[in-house]
Amino acid sequence: MKQFSTVLALALAFITIGCSTSKTTPPVSTAGQAQGVFSGTTSDGSSFQTIILPNDTFYAIYGTTIGNVLYISGMMTGQGASNNGKYTATVTDFTNTGTTFTGSVAASYVASTNISGTVSESGNSNVSFSGTVASTSSFNYGDAALLSDISGAWTGTLMDGSTAIVNIEASGTFSGSDSGCSFSGSMTPDSSGKNFFDISLTYGASPCLSPNQTQAGIGVDYLLSDGVTHQLLAGVASGTSFGTVFVANR
């Protein structure tokens, strides 16, 4: 009888341990399920290009397309989460007029294929959007970003319409100027091996709007539909206080 009691006690101990282990199993991460680069249109007539990073960070640039060039009206960025075809994010919308809105994105996606959803902002009308993954003939998200593709001089515009000149070294460090404001920083291929660059940008002294401040963001380089012209899109932001986009063709 004593032997039976010992066996029963051991059995109960194993069952208890098994139950305890199952309760402490960490959740499976779903980050990155929606990642990719998409382009499309919105219900208010804008064109957009968006990238969802492997950590579910969201960047979207929107404006008017004339010919094959996107003229920027604003940029949204924020942290999101993807899970089984659903993507949500809290975002800040930086417009080219200097107005800033906060809001959220709720979308459905098919991985590496398409995305559609709604942007809801306080003080602004809801806007729906629909986009498809970028054509591999102009851009392949799965390829590693190459500094050799972006090194050299670029002349383009910022979101407020001012002209900026940027020179990118082979190492990824860059310097530039805009209306008397000097800035410098670095562009580094992301460690994920995906086709985008991580950007660190530091402004110089006045007359820069953010003197001596550092911003972080991402950059994407791709071919326009003519198969020859490269377009560089670089978006940076400081939290929810300031953000801008540099757009250049060559």
What residue ranges do the domains of the chain occupy?
36-133, 147-249
Q: Three-class SS of residue 16?
A: helix
Q: Which residues contact 205 (CB under 8 A, 6 or more apart)?
A: 211, 212
Q: Which CATH number fits domain 147-249: 3.10.105.10, 2.40.128.10, 3.20.20.60, 3.30.200.20?
A: 2.40.128.10
Average pLDDT, the chain: 89
**Tens digit of each residue's pLDDT (9 = 90 or more) over 46-103:** 999 999 999 999 999 999 988 877 789 999 999 999 999 999 999 999 999 999 999 9
Q: Which residues contact 89 (CB under 8 A, 6 or more apart)?
A: 56, 58, 78, 79, 80, 81, 104, 105
* 119 neighbors 107 (Cβ within 8 angstroms): no
Please state the pTM of the whole predicted model. 0.86
The secondary structure of residue 10, as a DSSP letter, is: H
Residue 114 has pLDDT above 50, yes or no: yes
* pLDDT for position 8: 37
